[in-house]
């Protein structure tokens, strides 16, 4: 397992990459050299495809080595959130908890200012909460709560444990962010949506709702649970999020109508971090499609608007040089920086963090991330039919009442 390349065997091959202690994913600088392997066994997880779940975590670097390596990451910048435990669930085993407790301790004693992010579906131990409260750097707990716990899609996940985490985080005065993904027919019923939303609206800082990420292997895994998804072929280098048809739109309207004061971000995970960190746009999302679609509070929109600025040529040059991109390949047109040619996704993400400005390239090379999370503005939202689409049925009933027959909407 340790010698396997990330994404090996996954088409297209450009996604294959050597493991390094840290990897720049679309949102986080992910720690990828600590504990590797996850016992949680979610069926939609890309780890399914390279033997990393279900798997017993194995430790790589020591906690001290791991912390020391952070500054050497090629895209390191002091404002990028660092996700510890990105190749495991940091709280899934007692050994993992001991390991990441030490990481947190050593990180807290370091000079790095970066916010720390943990993403988990397991109980957050008290010792981790106590450490998070003690260290000077901000720590965000992303609770992955889809509502699919206790089903074959998340066979070892207990929804009650995650729900309780939100309550305990609030009691500890710590920040819990609700990671709401993926959406499948099984968790898209009105009851399930309300069950999840009513709880997090009371206890979490905000939610970020994201569709399913797919490649060939995961499509095959999920086809049993969602046959319509398995029925087509896609060019996964061009796809973004997959959603059950009508659900995204319903969720946008429902959250705005029933939970108007609770922030729900759509596809814009960096905005959830921005909001939870009580700062302005950290990664050039302001006025993007995700920004405009999200239910972001007016005071936050003002905060981001006030901080929004076009970067100077010197700033662009410094960021481009660090990423080994020539200035002649960069153009700034219509409030957007475009880099000519195919650029590795991690470099684009770095530019966005460094400049806090929209940055795209003519084509994206998904090295190291194998489409785990597309760059939102280039990734299409793809809506797939599903049996028991109650939203469509309700629309049709409404139309029927108006004397209009089923128009197949």
Smaller CB separation from ligand SF4, 21 or 263: 263
Smaller CB separation from ligand SF4, 121 or 283: 283
Q: Report how far residue 166's alpha carbon sits from residue 197's, in angstroms, rounded to the nearest whole number.
A: 12
CB atoms within 10 A of CB 333: 7
User: Does 336 sit near ligand SF4 (CB under 6 A)?
Assistant: no
CB of 285 to ligand SF4, least distance (A): 4
Candidate list 145, 275, 370, 386; residue touching ligand SF4; CB under 6 A: 275
Scanning residues 288 to 327, which ones bind ligand SF4 (CB under 6 A)?
291, 294, 296, 300-301, 304
Smaller CB separation from ligand SF4, 107 or 275: 275
Candidate list 27, 271, 325, 367; residue touching ligand SF4; CB under 6 A: 271
Scanning residues 241 to 270, which ones bind ligand SF4 (CB under 6 A)?
268
Q: Report how far residue 110's alpha carbon sits from residue 5's, in angstroms, rounded to the nearest whole number.
A: 30
- Residue of 196, 287, 138, 271 lying closest to 263 (CA atoms): 271
Q: Report how far residue 27's alpha carbon sits from residue 164's, in angstroms, rounded to the nearest whole number.
A: 26
CB of 338 to ligand SF4, least distance (A): 20
Residue 25 DSSP class:
-
The string of DSSP letters for 132-169 reads HHHSSS-EEEEEE--S-BTSTTBTT--HHHHHHHHHHH
Strands, sheet with 206-209, edge to edge from the N-terminal-most edge strand: 22-24, 29-31, 82-83, 116-120, 139-144, 175-180, 206-209, 264-266
CB of 270 to ligand SF4, least distance (A): 7
Alpha helices in 235-380 (DSSP H): 247-258, 269-276, 289-293, 298-307, 313-322, 345-355
CB of 288 to ligand SF4, least distance (A): 7
306, with CB counted inside 10 A (0-12, 13-18, 19+), is exposed
CB of 275 to ligand SF4, least distance (A): 5
Q: Report how far residue 310's alpha carbon sits from residue 307's, in angstroms, rounded to the nearest whole number.
A: 10
Smaller CB separation from ligand SF4, 17 or 281: 281
Candidate list 32, 205, 274, 361; residue touching ligand SF4; CB under 6 A: 274
By the 8 A CB rule, do 269 and 375 touch? no
Structure tokens that stand for 125 in this block = 């131990």
Helix and strand tally (H, E) in the chain? 14, 15
Smaller CB separation from ligand SF4, 164 or 377: 377
CA distances from 184 to 13, 120, 224, 306 (A): 27, 19, 12, 38
Smaller CB separation from ligand SF4, 292 or 404: 292
CB of 296 to ligand SF4, least distance (A): 3
Smaller CB separation from ligand SF4, 285 or 319: 285
Candidate list 286, 353, 366, 386; residue touching ligand SF4; CB under 6 A: 286
Smaller CB separation from ligand SF4, 121 or 376: 376
CB of 271 to ligand SF4, least distance (A): 3
3 state DSSP class of 306: helix
CB of 115 to ligand SF4, least distance (A): 15
Candidate list 52, 285, 351, 373; residue touching ligand SF4; CB under 6 A: 285
CB of 301 to ligand SF4, least distance (A): 4
How many residues make contact with ligand SF4 (CB under 6 A)?
13
Segment (H or E) for 330: strand 330-333
Q: Which residues bind ligand SF4 (CB under 6 A)?
A: 268, 271, 274-275, 281, 285-286, 291, 294, 296, 300-301, 304
């Amino acid at each position: 397992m340790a010698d396997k390349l990330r994404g090996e065997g996954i088409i297209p091959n450009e996604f294959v990459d050597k493991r390094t202690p840290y990897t720049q994913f679309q949102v986080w600088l992910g720690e990828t050299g600590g504990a590797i392997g996850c016992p949680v066994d979610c069926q939609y997880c890309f780890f399914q495809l390279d033997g990393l779940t279900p798997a017993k975590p194995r430790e790589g670097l020591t906690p001290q080595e791991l912390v020391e390596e952070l500054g050497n990451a090629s895209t390191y910048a002091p404002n990028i959130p660092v996700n510890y435990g990105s190749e495991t669930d940091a709280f899934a085993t007692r050994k993992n908890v001991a390991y990441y407790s030490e990481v947190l301790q050593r990180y807290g004693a370091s000079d790095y200012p970066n916010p720390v992010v943990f993403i988990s579906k397991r109980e957050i131990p008290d010792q981790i909460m106590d450490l998070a409260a003690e260290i000077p750097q901000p720590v965000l707990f992303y609770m992955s709560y889809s509502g699919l716990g206790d089903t074959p899609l998340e066979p070892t996940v207990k929804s009650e444990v995650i729900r309780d985490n939100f309550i305990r985080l609030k009691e500890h005065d710590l920040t819990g962010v609700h990671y709401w993904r993926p959406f499948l027919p099984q968790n898209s019923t009105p009851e399930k949506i309300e069950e999840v939303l009513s709880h997090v609206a009371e206890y979490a800082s905000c939610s970020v709702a994201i569709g399913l990420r797919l490649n060939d292997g995961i499509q095959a895994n999920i086809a049993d649970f969602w046959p319509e998804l398995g029925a087509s072929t896609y060019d996964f280098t061009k796809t973004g999020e997959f959603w059950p048809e009508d659900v995204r739109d319903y969720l946008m309207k429902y959250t705005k109508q029933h939970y108007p004061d609770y922030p729900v971000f759509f596809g814009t995970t960096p905005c959830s971090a921005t909001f939870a960190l009580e700062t302005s746009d950290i990664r050039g999302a302001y006025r993007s499609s995700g920004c405009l679609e999200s239910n972001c509070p007016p005071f936050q929109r003002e905060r981001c608007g006030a901080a929004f600025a076009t970067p100077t040529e010197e700033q662009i040059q410094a960021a481009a040089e660090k990423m080994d991109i020539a200035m002649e390949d960069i153009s700034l047109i219509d409030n957007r920086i475009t880099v000519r040619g195919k650029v590795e996704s991690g470099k684009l993400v770095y530019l966005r963090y460094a400049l806090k400005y929209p940055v795209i390239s003519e084509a994206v090379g998904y090295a190291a991330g194998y489409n785990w999370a597309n760059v939102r503005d280039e990734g299409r939202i793809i809506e797939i039919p599903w049996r028991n689409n109650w939203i469509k049925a309700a629309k049709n009933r409404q139309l029927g009442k108006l004397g209009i027959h089923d128009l197949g909407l």
